[in-house]
Structure 1
Amino acid sequence: MSGLKSALAGLGLGLVASTGYAHAANFAFEDYFVGKTVADGHFAAINGVNRKFTVDLTGKWDGHVLTLREDFRFEDGTRDTKTWRFVKTGPTTYTGTREDVIGNAMVHMSGDTARFNYLVYLSPETKGNKVRFYDKMVLKPDGTVLNTAWVTKFGFPVAKTTVNFRKVDHEIRHKAKRHERVNR
């Protein structure tokens, strides 16, 4: 079960401007992740594993490296924490590392889409059950990000996950506007 949690932890990414809705021209990890982000996700595997989860993300940017802490809560009550470190290597590229990722994740952004892939041990304590994640993140017009990730083993798809990200400040403004309309 710990391996599944580690695998899911790799999915906690989002890409939207932190001060409102983003446009393709300013679609960047460091803009979106500074501060608080939340996500809801679902993981389904060919072996019947089917889990829902939420993620609270906290990001800090030092001008070159984005440190992104992901705190996962699964529907069965289990929790997991992972930390990504993304180094900006160019205007639209990053390399990412995390405690359970084998090597580096290479991130390439184009317009409203980010793509990256990386290897993960689903059983990190024994370095067993190695799989590859292929993430595609798309910035939506409403400022949310949809991440679809395929998990493969020996080149064959074995699982899929979807994660929807949104900025906490955007969520707070949306709730305040809704409350304002109700109280009129």
Structure 2
Amino acid sequence: MALLLTLLTGCAGPSLQDYQGNTPKLIPSEFFRGELVARGVVKDWSGEVIRTFDADITASWNHEGVGTLDEVFRFDDGEVQTRVWTLTPEGEGYRANAGDVVEPGLMTWQGNAINMNYVLRVPYRDDTIDVRMDDWMYLITPDTLINETAMSKFGFGVGEIVLMIQKTDSGGD
């Protein structure tokens, strides 16, 4: 029984509390402001890189504390995707929603880390599938964030996205 408990505990993922004291402090309304650029890779279930992309992000916040992240992704195969996130204050975080998000997430953060878990509808062959996205973002400098997203379907890993996001301006609205 002790061995089983050890194995199960060992499989548990990180907790935001693990990052509570880390710096630089990541405050979404401060980092996600103004013009940002992203570059990354999409990996399949085996870890093989199957696509690369870059993205432009325009981020702003209104007087009620609601954030908008307008993202344009350009993939190496020529596909262009857009996603507009709305981040609405809720409890200790933000309710995160976008047009292709079928189950909104709650964005929470501590220290230099953000976690957000949601279900995204993605194109697949000639149809779409709903994929659970477990986003972890880490601020490594005041202007650079690393994002890792584990993708799963029916509890099984189907891929991963790894990207770097950088601020390109002073963040004015």
Q: Could you tell me the TM-score, scaled by structure 1's length? A: 0.72
| Residues 103, 120 of structure 2: 8 Å contact kept | no
Deviation per CA, 1:42-68, whole angstroms, max 9, x where unpaired? 001138670000010001210321011
Aligned length: 145
| Map of 2:69 onto structure 1 | 68
| Map of 2:164 onto structure 1 | 164
Q: Cα 1:158–1:138, aligned 2, differ >3 Å: closer, same or farther? A: same
5+ residue gaps, structure 1 = 1-21, 171-184
| Map of 1:30 onto structure 2 | 29
CA shift, 1:103, in A, is: 2.8
More strand by share: 2
| Residues 41, 49 of structure 2: 8 Å contact kept | no
Q: Which amino acid aligns with 1:114?
A: I
Deviation per CA, 1:64-113, whole angstroms, max 9, x where unpaired? 210110011111222111100001224x5111110010131111101100
Identity level (%)? 30
Q: Which amino acid aligns with 2:52?
A: K
> In the alignment, is residue 117 of structure 1 matched against residue 117 of structure 2?
yes
More helix by share: 1
> In the alignment, is residue 46 of structure 1 matched against residue 52 of structure 2?
no
Work out the CA distance in 2 between the residues paired with 1:50 and 1:32: 29
